[in-house]
Amino acid sequence: MSYNYQIIIEYIGTNFVGWQIQKNGKSVQEVIQKALYKTFKCKVKITGSGRTDAGVHALGQSANFYLDKKIENKSKTLSAINYFLKKNLISIIDLKLKKINFNARFSAKKRIYEYLIVNRESKLSVDKGKAWQIKKKLNIAAMKLASNLLVGTHDFSTFRASSCGAKSPIRKIKRINISKRNSRITIKFESQSFLQQQVRSMVGCLKYVGDNKWSIRKFEEVFKSKERKFCATPAPPEGLYLKRVIY
């Protein structure tokens, strides 16, 4: 009999090539699978809710895997997995038994990403590698107006990486919220799914509006062009967090 388990994961993505296993470096998926192998004494393949890029962080990444045996002691098992992850900035923060047909990727109803900008001149210390520092003061009101154009069902080809393998560029963004507290600007995105580099590309374009490089009309023209070549430089990965996956 097989048992299907979900794990909730947080990690700092700085030293990883991304979520997915790759030949050119250490991935989050690879490190976790090795920890699971040491814990359960068998090969385990995990399926993640999404493939975060190199340098992107997670506060609530979700993944699932199958075992032939039932886990009897959740606390002890979590401790064992995290023991084998101690050399990496990865933590398994929850473990749940799910229905056999649960899939961390395809069962997801909503994914929530947050992008953190620190808008100040002084260099970063605590947030170094964990946020995008922008020294020029940003126009938050203009960024909010521009972000409203992205909400709803649209063709997001402009914000899609050339290497994106999705069959369709059509996505529905349910909500975007931009908030500022002192020098910290947080941009929150909610959608069932996103295209490769979509969030970082949208943030890059919103930044152009915020620093008055683009007008809101220019932002709309670029968005509606559906041409990747007109997109602003994507925001760097270190400011992006996969916050939560909802099922």
Distances in whole angstroms, Cα of residue 37 to Cα of each of 18, 30, 33, 41, 97: 20, 11, 6, 5, 18
Those residues whose C-beta lies under 8 Å from the C-beta of residue 9, and which sit 6 or more positions away, are 28, 32, 58, 60, 61, 62, 63, 90, 91, 92, 93
Those residues whose C-beta lies under 8 Å from the C-beta of residue 229, and which sit 6 or more positions away, are none
> Do 14 and 129 form a contact (C-beta atoms < 8 A)?
yes
Those residues whose C-beta lies under 8 Å from the C-beta of residue 23, and which sit 6 or more positions away, are none
Among the listed residues 53, 68, 127, 211, the single catalytic one is: 53
The phi-psi region of residue 197 (left if phi > 0; otherwise alpha if psi is between -120 and 50; otherwise beta) is: left
Cβ count near 167 (within 10 Å): 6
**Residue 205: closest CA among 152, 247, 142, 162:** 142
Rounded CA separation 234/201 (Å) = 4
Q: What is the DSSP letter of 49?
A: S
* Three-class SS state of 82: helix
Rounded CA separation 80/186 (Å) = 34
Q: Is 53 tagged catalytic? A: yes
- Residues assigned a catalytic role: 53
